[in-house]
């Protein structure tokens, strides 16, 4: 079986005469043995520069280019090596880092790599037969390393020449979109490792090709806030994903990798997981970091078949020792950082968003409603309104509004089911003059498209501060 690029043999050592000094701050050098990991936490206001000076290293399945500085901020992550490497470290501000020294027998990374090769065997078989590649769902409790595993499997797949279609069903965090949205994108090339999933399409030029997602606005923090709306949008996303699989043979054989939000084991709320399995014809469920959840998933899907008449396999995996707790404060920082980058760009590419005054009367504004009681979740689809048309008010100041591909004359159902075009930020509301001051990444008339307002992401007062 073919090996992952870089795992066949170690890379040659870098030229010792190459320039590796940093003018930002004093540098330190860290030498890692095979299977060791460099784990780091960088707060929002600090940066950490990491440069690979010799050997081979990767982050979430994507190789680090030799002698290329990578700048990290507002993140908790790790660099791992299979053969050993030397890293040059510099920083501005505070950060926390240490080296973990597991052996091949001690690290779960080996089991993750074996899993990748098994998926690759399925993809090769699908390519020979013209069938669908593996559809993989990753579930687990909060802070188990689900997203990191999906990124690793994505990174390794792209290095084998595959084009996996990645689906994010975690409404708390966005994938190539802002939090509060459900999205999917094909990854035909490497991920930009300095960001969670890479640059959003509005973020300007990038050395790494930008991935274009399809997304739907949910606008709430948890699936339980409005389970029916969440399921309906998942079904819409599944239709778009299935269409892409049908029309692109390379994506079809590469299959799906589906990320989820954290599930509380004590609550045992697996209803929306079963919906994902059904809608996306999932045939492999990976449960990371919970033996109990793995056992319950085994029972739930025992004897069930996909729409393609395949058995559903449940696999339990250990979580990495490098997974750290991400509290609500840190997640808020990550959310604010993503919003700021969407409108203003990053340190490498500064953007200039447009500010415009808009009359209340020129906007078609809709609010995402939370389900009033759990009993309404199973009622008839038309028994209550998921989107409600509202008048602009001070309530939307400092909030993000989603712009969707629909007409202002469309029905609430059509607007709800329309995919996402982009976002605007309401910086000021003048109720007396009935005007809004709105920040947008491009200059466009907002009156031509409906705007959707949800409670997630939360208002960001400091965006223009």
User: Which CATH number is 66's domain given?
Assistant: 2.60.120.1030
pTM of the entire predicted model: 0.90
Q: Is residue 183 part of a domain?
A: yes
Domain contains 326: no
Give a yes or no: residue 260 inside a domain: yes
300, exposed or middle or buried, with CB in 10 Å at 0-12, 13-18, 19+?
middle
Same domain, 84 and 139: no
335, part of any domain: no
Query: 259, 293, 317 — which closes off a domain?
Result: 317
Structure tokens, 416:
């709800």
Q: Both 373 and 409 in a single domain? A: yes
185: CATH: 3.40.50.300
Domain match, 99 and 113 both: no
Residues 291 and 401 in one domain: no
pLDDT in tens, the chain (465 residues): 333 444 544 444 444 444 333 344 689 999 999 999 999 999 888 899 999 999 999 999 999 999 999 999 888 899 999 999 999 999 998 999 999 999 999 999 999 999 999 999 999 999 999 999 999 999 999 989 999 999 999 999 999 999 999 999 999 999 999 999 999 999 999 888 988 886 666 555 556 666 789 999 999 999 989 999 999 999 999 999 999 999 999 999 999 999 999 887 655 468 889 999 999 999 999 999 999 999 999 999 999 999 889 999 999 999 887 676 777 777 788 888 889 989 998 766 788 899 999 999 999 999 999 975 444 444 444 445 789 999 999 999 999 999 999 999 999 999 999 999 999 999 999 999 999 999 999 887 787 899 999 999 999 987 876
Q: Which residue, among 425, 438, 442, has the nearest Cα to 338 in the 3D structure?
A: 425
One domain, residues 227 and 284: yes
Asked whether residue 18 is assigned to any structural domain, the reply reads no
Pair 145, 80 in one domain:
no
Decide which of 293, 317, 341 is a domain's last residue: 317
Domain span holding position 202: 109-317
304 and 406 in a common domain: no
Number of domains into which the chain is organized: 3
User: Of the candidates 266, 299, 317, which is a domain's last residue?
Assistant: 317
* Residues 6 or more apart whose Cβ sits within 8 Å of residue 425: 339, 343, 398, 399, 400, 401, 438, 439, 440, 460, 463
Instruction: Examine residue 78 and state whether it is found in any structural domain, yes or no.
Output: yes
CA-CA distance, 322 to 423, in Å (whole number)?
A: 34
Question: Same domain for 219 and 304?
Answer: yes
In sequence order, the 6+-apart residues with CB closer than 8 A to the CB of 375 are: none
Question: Does a structural domain hold residue 172?
Answer: yes
């Amino acid at each position: 079986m073919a090996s992952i690029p870089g795992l066949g043999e170690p890379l040659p050592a870098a030229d010792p005469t190459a320039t590796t000094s940093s003018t930002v701050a004093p540098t330190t050098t860290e030498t890692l043995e095979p299977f060791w990991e460099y784990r780091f936490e960088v707060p929002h206001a600090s940066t950490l520069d990491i440069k690979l000076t010799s050997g081979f290293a990767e982050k979430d399945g994507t190789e680090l280019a030799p002698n290329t500085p990578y700048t990290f901020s507002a993140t908790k992550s790790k660099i791992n090596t299979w053969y050993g490497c030397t890293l040059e470290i510099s920083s501005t501000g505070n950060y926390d880092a240490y080296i973990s020294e597991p052996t091949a027998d001690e690290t779960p990374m080996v089991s993750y790599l074996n899993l990748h090769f098994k998926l690759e065997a399925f993809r090769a078989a699908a390519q020979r037969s013209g069938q669908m590649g593996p559809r993989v769902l990753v579930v687990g409790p909060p802070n188990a390393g689900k997203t990191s595993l999906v990124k690793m499997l994505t990174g390794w797949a792209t290095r084998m020449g595959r084009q996996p279609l990645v689906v994010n069903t975690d409404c708390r965090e966005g994938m190539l979109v802002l939090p509060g949205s459900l999205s999917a994108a094909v990854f035909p090339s490497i991920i930009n490792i300095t960001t969670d999933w890479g640059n959003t399409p509005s973020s300007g030029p990038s050395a790494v090709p930008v991935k274009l997602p399809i997304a739907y606005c949910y606008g709430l923090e948890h699936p339980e806030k409005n389970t029916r709306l969440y399921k309906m949008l998942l079904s819409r996303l599944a239709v778009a994903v299935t269409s892409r699989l049908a029309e692109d043979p390379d994506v079809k054989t590469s299959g799906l990798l589906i990320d989820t939000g954290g599930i509380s084991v004590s609550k045992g709320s697996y209803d929306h997981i079963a919906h994902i399995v059904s809608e996306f014809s999932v045939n492999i469920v990976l449960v990371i970091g919970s033996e109990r959840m793995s056992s319950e998933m085994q029972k739930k899907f025992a004897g069930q078949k996909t729409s393609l008449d395949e058995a559903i396999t449940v696999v339990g995996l250990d979580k990495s020792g490098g997974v750290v707790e991400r509290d609500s404060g840190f997640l808020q920082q990550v959310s604010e950082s993503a919003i700021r980058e969407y409108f203003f760009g990053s340190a490498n590419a500064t953007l200039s968003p447009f500010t415009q005054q808009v009359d209340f009367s020129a906007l078609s504004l809709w609010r995402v409603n939370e389900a009033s009681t759990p009993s309404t979740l199973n009622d008839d689809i038309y028994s209550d309104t998921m989107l409600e048309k509202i008048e602009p008010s001070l309530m939307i100041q400092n909030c993000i509004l989603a712009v969707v591909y629909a007409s202002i004359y469309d029905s609430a159902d059509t607007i709800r089911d329309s995919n996402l075009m982009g976002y605007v930020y309401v910086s000021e509301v003048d109720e007396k003059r009935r005007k809004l001051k709105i920040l947008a990444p491009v200059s466009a008339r907002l009156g031509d498209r409906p705007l959707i307002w949800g409670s997630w992401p939360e208002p960001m007062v400091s965006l223009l501060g």
